[in-house]
Amino acid sequence: MEELVGRIAQAAGIGEDVARQAVKIILNFLNREGPSDQVQKILGALPGAQDVIETEGGGSGFLGGLGGMLGGGMGAMAALNELTSAGLDMSQVQSVTRELMATAREHVGAETVDEVVNSIPGLNQVL
């Protein structure tokens, strides 16, 4: 996970603590909103990814849980809100998300990642 965090921090021009928090937010979002089989492939391929997934409560904070309950793109908005609350601007959110998805593509292939991205309303707008 540390290699991924370093790569994302460098790509987005942010500190490693913020990058680590952003990775956690995005992976939890994908875990909540994406197709389970494909998301599990991604989580299994990224070293340490399973360790940052929240296993209880189904969300990352109040907004994550609210977004999950409302569905239909609200999950993406809740995740975006969490990322901006972590100190990222929109450009940095895009850099972090793009780099994370590029890393996932390297590990599991474009088909799996694209299936996850295309299945989640609003995610394409961030990429």
Radius of gyration of the chain (CA): 13
Domain that holds residue 96: 2-126
Task: Report the C-alpha gap between 78 and 12 in whole angstroms.
Answer: 21
Task: Report the C-alpha gap between 13 and 67 in whole angstroms.
Answer: 28
Q: What is the CATH number of the domain that holds 19?
A: 1.10.490.110
| pLDDT average, residue stretch 4-29 | 95
- Compute the residue count for the chain: 127
Number of separate helices (H) and strands (E) present in the chain:
9, 0
Q: pLDDT tens digit string along 44-85?
A: 999 889 988 875 444 444 444 444 444 445 678 888 899 999
Q: pLDDT tens digit string along 93-121?
A: 999 999 999 999 999 999 999 999 999 88
Q: Which residue has the tokens 């913020």?
A: 18
pLDDT at 53: 87
- Per the structure, the count of domains in the chain is 1
- Give the tokens for residue 7: 């790569």
Collapsed DSSP state (helix, strand, coil) of residue 13 = coil
Alpha carbon distance, N-terminus to C-terminus of the chain: 22
> DSSP for 44-89?
HHSTTHHHHS--SSSSSHHHHHHHHHH-TTHHHHHHHHHHHHTT--
pTM of the model: 0.83
pLDDT at 15: 96
pLDDT at 101: 94
